[in-house]
């Protein structure tokens, strides 16, 4: 077989390109090996196909050229629903549903397109292939741009990375409305092959709120009950915090923009106590406050599956958890790789790429 120079360039490019479908690259490889004088049985071993497959693509290329390497039209029933119906399905799924419905369902779309005769299951398959999911809702926050966002974030992160001389960096926030609930019947312990079982019914005993202060560079935590989330109680906590920290240290306070943190009373009290230097996180960025990590540990270890007989019982367990945490506390270490977050499809696509192309 003698290849035209232009055809040879096309085949070599298909074999080299990482975006070429495997079937097209395999067929081009067969043609190149055939033009090089390689026998069919040897090509079958190299390409890892049957000898009949090598002969079929070799003969089709010899008769038809590059067009012979394309797939033939397959037999079977033609599509029942054409592009027009599919576009109507997508248009309905991405529009506002009729009153009083809040979101589209497959059955509701089928009723909306009753003139086409399409079924709800077929609509589900079409939308799944297009990755359109009307019932799924993901929250997002509309917020005005903060011109000082990066300046404030850099200021807070600098305190986390290095503590200023003769200072202490404290992260403060509240955890409110922790529910004190007790189950009507005790849990059943786990056994081999079955996890712990819990009764659905419970009794409410009220809620508990606390204020916590985290020493960023030691991991030590101070927790105090918060009877009411207002400026007076927050100022009382700050006064207690100031008494607990040695007088020769400057207190760098990291806190979010909560109402009790930014009120006139709080700012006036901070102005009268210059030893405490407040550092506010950007708006809607309270995740920069490291004490939230401690609250996450508390929720997973105590609150998520806890059983509390009263508000006092819940408060005591929260306090005991802080004491146990302080016995082995160490500073939290953040990791940031400088890469944007990826979706599942992007991660799967990156995993399929050759190593040298990543």
Burial class (CB in 10 A: 0-12, 13-18, 19+), 211: buried
- What pLDDT does residue 259 have? 92
- What pLDDT does residue 149 have? 87
- What pLDDT does residue 266 have? 95
The Cα 317–Cα 290 span in angstroms is: 22
- What pLDDT does residue 235 have? 95
- What pLDDT does residue 272 have? 95
Residue corresponding to tokens 């950007």: 282
The Cα 92–Cα 90 span in angstroms is: 5
- What pLDDT does residue 199 have? 85
- pLDDT under 70 in the chain at which residues? 143-145, 334-358
- What pLDDT does residue 267 have? 95
- What pLDDT does residue 263 have? 94
Cα 103 from chain centroid (whole Å): 23
My answer on whether omega of the bond before 130 falls inside 30° of 0, hence cis, is no
């Amino acid at each position: 077989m003698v290849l035209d120079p232009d055809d040879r360039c096309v085949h070599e490019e298909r074999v080299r390109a990482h975006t070429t479908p495997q079937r097209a690259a395999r067929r081009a490889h067969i043609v190149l090996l055939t033009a090089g004088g390689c026998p069919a049985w040897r090509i079958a071993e190299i390409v890892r196909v049957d000898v009949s497959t090598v002969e079929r693509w070799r003969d089709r290329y010899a008769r038809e050229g590059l067009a012979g390497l394309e797939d033939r039209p397959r037999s079977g029933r033609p599509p029942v629903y054409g592009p027009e119906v599919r576009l109507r399905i997508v248009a309905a799924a991405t529009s506002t549903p009729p009153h009083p419905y809040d979101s589209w369902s497959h059955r509701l779309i089928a009723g909306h397109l009753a003139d086409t005769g399409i079924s709800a299951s077929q609509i589900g398959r079409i939308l799944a292939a297009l990755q359109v999911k009307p019932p799924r809702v993901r929250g997002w926050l509309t917020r005005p741009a903060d011109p000082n966002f990066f300046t404030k974030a850099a200021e807070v992160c600098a305190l986390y990375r290095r503590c200023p001389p003769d200072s202490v960096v404290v992260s403060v926030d509240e955890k409110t409305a922790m529910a004190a609930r007790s189950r009507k019947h005790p849990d059943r312990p786990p056994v081999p092959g079955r996890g712990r079982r819990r009764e659905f019914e419970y009794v409410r005993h009220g809620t508990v709120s606390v204020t916590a202060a985290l020493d960023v560079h030691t991991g030590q935590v101070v927790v105090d009950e918060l009877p009411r989330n207002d400026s007076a109680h927050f100022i009382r906590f700050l006064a207690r915090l100031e008494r607990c920290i040695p007088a020769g240290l400057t207190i760098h306070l990291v806190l979010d923009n909560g109402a009790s943190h930014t009120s006139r009373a709080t700012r006036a009290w901070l102005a009268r106590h210059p030893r405490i230097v407040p550092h506010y996180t950007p708006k809607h960025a309270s995740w920069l406050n490291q004490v939230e990590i401690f609250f996450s540990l508390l929720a997973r270890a105590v609150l998520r599956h806890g059983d509390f007989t009263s508000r006092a019982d819940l408060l005591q367990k929260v306090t005991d958890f802080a004491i146990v945490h302080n016995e082995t506390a160490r500073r939290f270490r953040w990791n940031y790789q400088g890469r944007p977050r990826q979706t599942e499809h992007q991660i799967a696509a990156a995993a399929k790429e050759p190593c040298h192309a990543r």
